[in-house]
Amino acid sequence: MRWLNIVGLIFNLVGAGVIAVGVTASRAAIDRITASAYGGPSPDAQAARRRQSNFAIVGLVLLCIGFLLQLVGSWPQ
């Protein structure tokens, strides 16, 4: 049963990575997303989107650390 726990943690880790990739955006994508029909990109919207993207990266790192610690704690001896 411990192996099922380990496999589940690995799937959780991969799933968190997939979600983070979907949330984070490159600078070019942020420019495209925040551009208005009448002008260039809004600096306030760009800053907000970059902040969200940075929080997503930090969240992914924290999730990875947590899952890895659980994995080490659950590893059969």
Model pTM score: 0.67
Q: For 33-74, what is each residue's pLDDT tens digit?
A: 777 767 777 788 788 888 888 888 888 888 888 888 888 888
Cα dihedral 18, 19, 20, 21 sign: positive
Give the CA dihedral 27, 29, 33, 36, nearest 10 degrees.
70
- For position 7, what pLDDT does the model report? 84
Is the C-alpha dihedral spanning 77, 2, 65, 16 positive or negative? positive
